[in-house]
Amino acid sequence: MKVSSIYWIICLGLIVNISKAQSVKQRVYHTQLLVIGGSTGGTAAAIQAARMGIQTILVEETPWLGGMLSAAGVTGTDGNQDLGSGIWEAFRQALYTHYHTKKLNTGWVSNTLFEPHVADSIFKFWAAKESHLQCMYGWYFDSAIVKNNKIIGAIFINQQKEKQTVFAELCIDATDLGDVYANAGASFSIGMEDAVTSGEKEAPGKNEIIQDLTWAAVLKDYGNPVDKSLLIQPADFAPINLKEFDCSTANAPCPLGKPYQFNTQKVLDYGKLPNHKYMLNWPAHGNDYYINGINIKPIDRYAYYLPARKQTLAFVYYLQQVLGFKNIGLDTTEFSTIDHLAFMPYHREGRRLNGVVKLSIPYLNNAFTQTNAFYRTGISVGDYPVDHHHGKNPAAPSIAFPSIYSFNIPLGSLIPEKLNGMVVCEKGISVSNLVNGTSRLQPCVLLTGQAAGMLAAVAIQEKSEPRLISVRKIQTLLLKEKVFLMPYVDVPATDSAFEAIQKIGVTGILRGNGKKEAWVSKTYFYPDSLCNALALWKDLNAFIHLPIENPFTEKFVTEKGLEKIQVEFNKLYPSLPKILHQSTDKPLTRKQVALWLNKYCNPFAIEINHLGHLIAK
């Protein structure tokens, strides 16, 4: 009896061990596309790829989708207000539907403010509609699997120290800090650059200083006489000194400096959200915090960033106890964290990829005059000024923010210089330190993520490397999604000539003009202005040399002059349609010329490389 009992105990133990082994073994997944990070860019990338029929797995640390737009609590978007494009515009429309209004400028920092859980719900609703998309939550990136200079998957770990492996035909690094491509061996940069290296006269010099991060919170006005200060005690944020927040508002003590110009209510209204809530993401003597966790393993960062969380808790306490806003407290319904702060910090900067191309300030200020025509390869747009946060790091040099025009992101900045099997989105794309100050903003990152998902999908469909995919093919697909390739603010996606103007604009044949207007910059196409003949001829020859004299005899472009250009295009590209109608000498607008050139010459069809140079036939 004893022998039999022992026997069965041993057998049972073996069965349990075998079951455990099988359970562990079963945590190996195979998919076409692996998106590492449910960030702003990663969420857009995964949804876009799945919509194109690509079997996609998205792995995310937090329980939410959307990154800085949701889980990090930065729900006042910056930029692209008048560039309603692609998935960014779809997101705005979903917000309008949820709140039953298009007036979401509840706070003065943005024209689009919303509650974090609403953003998460929108992204999860979209994700749930895609049968090709599987989202996994609570898993941290641990290491990349690389074979013959190609990433083929990744290993993840959770808080229970369990591991899982996902193998994929292609991977997207959608982490905030560039964790995956760094672990896989791709080249990258950290911190500021010098002028010689970056080609930017404003570059302050080489160092490894990144921008301050912010651990954001959502506050709520509970109304007087409710005292919400009881939720936070000094022990919760020790050893933060409350004097750090002096001068943060006009009402704050400021014995050794100059008070901020706005009173406390105005400061709170900066990030006022619907339903009596406030986004607390205040840089001036507020809850910005300098801490560099780039080299900390992702699973250990939450604990490592504890000082940043304490900074925010202390600022809330200061608002309550020192400035008298005891009715303002942490909203306990937004985030299911112990301290009710966001699920993750708002990272403004981490590693930056060294990609096939690197976008720098000269390409934002004078895109049309550079040796390389990166603008011709644009896949997303932005219009926010360069905005760096270094107020909490005394070692950070002073930066003179360069003035820029609205811009586009080149496709090559999403592709590692040498590592294969990977596309990059989020803030870690290949840009200079200074450009990161504008390319990092939510709408631009959302659009870049959409393009990354599209590039990955096409590469998988064609069984090719992302670096080998036609730039024009990706741009053509993006245009079908009403994505701006050029930031022409006066030609909305609803315009019947939108696609033609975008296609001609991205060749540089009809160039827009940038103007700085208050806090944003805008680029105008001027579709209804008459088209200057000399300018068109000059820009046309900058794109492709035509062996004829200037066919325009008048100041403005006419169909008769365009016909002569079309004849030359027919010699180069015989498949183009012949003109069958009677031409006139009537001056044409820029919109009419764009439509004409797109229909009869189709210069957009000429293939280009990632530098924006024409590929020889």
Closest-CA residue to 548 (of 530, 570, 532, 529): 570
Paired strand residues for 130: none
Name the pLDDT band for 401 (thresholds 50, 70, 90). confident
Q: Which residues contact 588 (CB under 8 A, 6 or more apart)?
A: 530, 531, 556, 557, 558, 559, 562, 596
**Residue 161 identity (one-letter amino acid):** K
Alpha carbon separation from 340 to 281, 312, 539 (Å, rounded): 15, 11, 56
- Token pair, residue 390, equals 């270094």
> Is the pTM of the predicted complex or chain greater than 0.75?
yes
Residue 24: DSSP 8-state: H
Residue the block writes with tokens 């180069």? 572
Longest dimension (CA), the chain: 110
Distance CA 431, CA 382 (A): 13
Distance CA 31, CA 301 (A): 28
Residue 244's Cβ-count burial label (10 Å; 0-12, 13-18, 19+) is middle
Q: Tell me which H or E stretch contains 598.
A: helix 590-600
Alpha carbon separation from 433 to 422, 465, 489 (Å, rounded): 22, 27, 26
The predicted pLDDT at position 7 comes to: 33
The predicted pLDDT at position 617 comes to: 65
Distance CA 302, CA 482 (A): 38
Average per-residue pLDDT for the chain: 93
Is the peptide bond between 443 and the residue preceding it cis, with omega within 30 degrees of 0? no
Paired strand residues for 523: 488, 514
Residue 149, phi-psi category: left (phi > 0), alpha (psi -120 to 50), beta (remainder) = left
**Residue 506 identity (one-letter amino acid):** V
Task: Quickly count: other Cβ atoms within 10 Å of residue 578's Cβ.
Answer: 8
Name the pLDDT band for 47 (thresholds 50, 70, 90). very high
The predicted pLDDT at position 26 comes to: 59
Mean pLDDT to the nearest integer, 570-583: 77
The predicted pLDDT at position 257 comes to: 87
Which letter, b or e, does each residue of 190-209 get, where b requires 16 or more Cβ atoms within 10 Å of its Cβ? bbbbeeeebebeebbeeeeb
Residue 21: DSSP 8-state: H
Residue 554: DSSP 8-state: S
Rounded to a whole number of angstroms, the distance between the first and last alpha carbons of the chain is 86
Q: What sign has the CA pseudo-torsion 437, 103, 482, 521?
A: negative
Task: Quickly count: other Cβ atoms within 10 Å of residue 495's Cβ.
Answer: 16
Residue 558's Cβ-count burial label (10 Å; 0-12, 13-18, 19+) is buried
Alpha carbon separation from 310 to 244, 315, 356, 422 (Å, rounded): 12, 8, 40, 36
149-162, pLDDT tens digit by residue?
A: 999 999 999 999 99
Among 6-10, 108-112, 395-399, which stretch is predicted with the lowest mean pLDDT? 6-10
Catalogue all structural domains in the chain, each as residue range(s) with its CATH number.
25-184 (3.50.50.60), 213-330 (no CATH), 488-617 (no CATH)
126-136, pLDDT tens digit by residue?
A: 999 999 999 99
- Residue by residue, DSSP assigns 274-331 as TTTEEEE--TTTTSEE----TTS-GGGHHHHTHHHHHHHHHHHHHHHHTS--TTEEE-
Q: What sign has the CA pseudo-torsion 458, 438, 483, 407?
A: negative
Alpha carbon separation from 134 to 42, 48, 127, 337, 343 (Å, rounded): 13, 13, 8, 24, 21
Distance CA 376, CA 506 (A): 5
Strands 188-189 and 277-280 come out as: unpaired
Distance CA 86, CA 449 (A): 11
Decide if 312 contacts 339 (C-beta within 8 A). Answer: no
Q: Is residue 9 over pLDDT 90?
A: no
495-534, pLDDT tens digit by residue?
A: 999 999 999 999 999 999 988 877 778 999 999 999 999 9
Q: Is residue 216 over pLDDT 70?
A: yes
The predicted pLDDT at position 581 comes to: 66
Query: In the chain, pLDDT over 70 holds for what percent of residues?
Result: 95
- 440: Cα separation from own chain's centroid: 6
Q: Is residue 1 over pLDDT 60?
A: no
The long-range contacts involving 145-154, CB below 8 angstroms and separated by at least 24 positions, are 146/184, 146/185, 146/419, 149/185, 149/418, 149/419, 149/420, 150/419, 150/420, 150/421, 151/180, 151/184, 151/419, 151/420, 151/421, 151/422, 152/421, 153/34, 154/34, 154/36, 154/59, 154/180
Name the pLDDT band for 291 (thresholds 50, 70, 90). very high
CA dihedral defined by 131, 135, 136, 139, rounded to 10 degrees? 150
Decide if 593 contacts 532 (C-beta within 8 A). Answer: no
Q: Is residue 488 over pLDDT 50?
A: yes
365-382, pLDDT tens digit by residue?
A: 999 999 999 999 999 999
406-418, pLDDT tens digit by residue?
A: 999 999 999 999 9
